[in-house]
Structure 1
Amino acid sequence: MASSIAMRQVGRIARYTIFQPQLCVPRRALSSPAENSPLNQGPSAELSLRGLLDMGFTDTQAEHIYETVYKSRGGNTAKNTLCTLSTLIVLGLNPSSVLKLLEKCPELYTVKEARLQQRIANLRKLGLLEGSLQRVVAHHPQILIIKRKVINNAVMFLKEKCLFTSQQVTDILRDSPAIIQEDLAQIQFKFQYVYFRMGVKQAEMVKSRLFRFSLDEVRNRHCFLERRGLYETPDKKGQTTIINPKLSNILNVDQDMFVTQVAKASVEEFEVFQRLMAREYEEEDHWGDLENIKQIAPPPKKLRIDTA
């Protein structure tokens, strides 16, 4: 139903814009004293205020989009903008969401329709279906300006180097889409730290949304617990003498709750600890290399994929 409505909206804007030699201005704009405004003189036949209004944008939103395009690169940008707006609305995003998306990622104004469609199709192929796809695009629109090859390389990296299953990779993309723009070596370093040093398996990493957090955040909280005797690196058999808190309980809480409920300490203690850790990081040249982690907790002969 939503798609059919969106298609009708796109059809209306096509009729109003493609064959329209002059800009259609709403009554409020016609009555405005600013007759020399760029909004009233735009030469583009591909993009008009009337068309934007027919797509569901308010007067203010339509003027904002048109002015942004007008101040941009002119005709070619206007053509790309119309295609981009149509594609995003057909995707199921409402006009307010589309405007916020463009404000987060103005590069989308210049993306060609064919490339945009290809990238959306690729995300669907990777398992981001209706609902999940819209949320990812709305919260991290930059994923639509990244080449398919870059995204697919990151996906293969997560599967081959970190041994996540296909479904786990889809969950990571859905919950932490910004991972696509991270350096692959840093992703691997974070994975290795949590896997070897903390003894956490892939399923728990995904459940805790590990890749939303920087390695600084992860290590600070883990080491604080460890030095207070509240976290222990598992032995080769995965056993510990204490019950370690779950990774989600360590990461998915605000600082105050982490300190008081998980670490059983004061905020002041944790703040001092973080400053000391920052000094240690500098002395160790950002924590040394991966071999240091492996020496602390030697890996098993072969990592096994956690499918739980």
Structure 2
Amino acid sequence: MGTHVCRKQMLRWMWRWSVCPVAVSRGHMPFCSTQGEPHQVNPSHGGQVTHRPGNQLSLCSLLEMGFSETQAKEMHEGATKSRGKHVPSVMTALLLLGLNPSSILKIMQKCPEVYSLKGADLQQRIDHLRKMGLVEGSLQRMISHYPKIMLLPVKRVNMVSRLLREKCLFTIHQVTEILRDSPEVLEEDLAQLEYKFQYAYFRMGVRQPEMVKAKLFRLPLSELRCRHCFLERRGLYQTPDKKGQTLILNPALKDVLCVSEETYLTQVAMATAEEFHVFRKLMAREQEEKGREDEYSSDEDEEDKDDVLHRRKHHWNTGYKKDRK
């Protein structure tokens, strides 16, 4: 119902406000004036000013869209600073999406880069998210929570979706749930994303449905590893064998990840914050040392390859000289 009203209001603005009549009083600037755009006075209309909309939104048009005076001023200021050339079409796309003025203002405050988008590109990305299964309500909440998703090209969204389906073997419905609950995943490095899945799948023995339920991809890999290893070293978590069996009852993944650190420590790990803090430092040191070892090992491998190549070249050169004799 709200979406229908908002769309109706938007269409009314598009058709009825092709001009913006405002009465001019001496010594006062008309509220709907647009900076940098000329106004024409029509004597036959009792001193009214008509504003012809260009690429910039006027305060008057923002008021007609349903923004309050304070909101309209803030939106107008943001649009002016961004120097976006397609702000009206962006506003049209957001209003037709069913977002109310307050939600749009919050989106622009979180992500001012949206001002600089092209309306056609924004609409294409919104339509693509719909095709991926994000229905009305979920789509609006996701965009309001994570407006950066509107900056990502369709190609990037498809790359992440393909990785989740083909490399991580999530179903199409599960991929939609992941994007809805953890849209940040779209900006994550693909190799790190795959490694996080592999860690949960092989190291922790967790399957895809439980990962989705626990919102696995909301948590950084470092935090996932830290919470898991802390439980493991306290004897509270065990990697399942090939048959998926363990000698102890592992806590559910959602009880490990979807809770605050305080709840995790008191109800799952049965430890103090000080113990976990010390362990976190040790884990960070271990990872740093491991990184150095991997780097050193990689350098040694490169040196070995260079040495082998040098010997082969020397052998080839020697053989060539013998043949010449």
TM-score of the two chains, using structure 2 as the length reference: 0.80
Give the number of the structure with larger relative contact order, counting CA–CA contacts within 8 Å between residues 6 or more apart: 1
User: Structure 1 residues 160, 41: CA separation in 2 closer, same or farther (over 3 Å shift)?
Assistant: closer
**Aligned partner of 2:53: which letter?**
A
User: Structure 1 residues 68, 39: CA separation in 2 closer, same or farther (over 3 Å shift)?
Assistant: farther
2:81 aligned residue: 71
Instruction: Measure the CA separation in 2 of the matches of 1:287 and 1:194.
Output: 24
User: Structure 1 residues 10, 32: CA separation in 2 closer, same or farther (over 3 Å shift)?
Assistant: farther
1:278 aligned residue: 284
Matched, 1:235 2:241: yes
Instruction: Measure the CA separation in 1 of the matches of 2:292 and 2:17.
Output: 56
Matched, 1:19 2:29: no
- Asked if 1 retains the 8 angstrom alpha-carbon contact of 2:146 and 2:183, the reply is yes
Instruction: Measure the CA separation in 1 of the matches of 2:201 and 2:151.
Output: 32
User: Structure 1 residues 12, 37: CA separation in 2 closer, same or farther (over 3 Å shift)?
Assistant: closer
Instruction: Measure the CA separation in 2 of the matches of 1:162 and 1:72.
Output: 39
Long gaps (5+) in structure 1: 290-308
TM-score of the two chains, using structure 1 as the length reference: 0.84
RMSD: 2.5
User: Structure 1 residues 38, 284: CA separation in 2 closer, same or farther (over 3 Å shift)?
Assistant: farther
Instruction: Measure the CA separation in 2 of the matches of 1:108 and 1:138.
Output: 12
1:259 aligned residue: 265
- Asked if 1 retains the 8 angstrom alpha-carbon contact of 2:58 and 2:76, the reply is yes
2:35 aligned residue: 41
**Aligned partner of 1:58: which letter?**
S
Deviations 1:159-209 (A, max 9, x none): 000000001000000100110010000001100111000000000000000
After TM superposition, give the deviation of residue 261 of structure 1 in Å: 0.9
**Aligned partner of 1:259: which letter?**
L
Long gaps (5+) in structure 2: 38-51, 296-325
SS in 2 for 1:156: helix
Matched, 1:250 2:244: no
1:156 aligned residue: 162
User: Structure 1 residues 258, 31: CA separation in 2 closer, same or farther (over 3 Å shift)?
Assistant: farther
**Aligned partner of 2:35: which letter?**
Q
- Asked if 2 retains the 8 angstrom alpha-carbon contact of 1:132 and 1:174, the reply is yes
- Asked if 2 retains the 8 angstrom alpha-carbon contact of 1:175 and 1:209, the reply is yes
Deviations 1:122-146 (A, max 9, x none): 1011000111111111111111111
- Asked if 2 retains the 8 angstrom alpha-carbon contact of 1:12 and 1:54, the reply is no
Instruction: Measure the CA separation in 1 of the matches of 2:67 and 2:3.
Output: 17
Structure whose CA Rg is larger: 2
User: Structure 1 residues 120, 64: CA separation in 2 closer, same or farther (over 3 Å shift)?
Assistant: same
Which 10-residue stretch deviates more, 36-45 or 151-160?
A: 36-45
2:8 aligned residue: 8
1:286-305 aligned within 5 A: none
1:55 aligned residue: 65
1:306 aligned residue: none
**Aligned partner of 1:127: which letter?**
G
Count of residue pairs brought into register by the alignment: 279
Matched, 1:131 2:137: yes
Matched, 1:87 2:97: no
1:299 aligned residue: none
User: Structure 1 residues 17, 81: CA separation in 2 closer, same or farther (over 3 Å shift)?
Assistant: farther
Identity %: 51
Instruction: Measure the CA separation in 1 of the matches of 2:123 and 2:293.
Output: 42
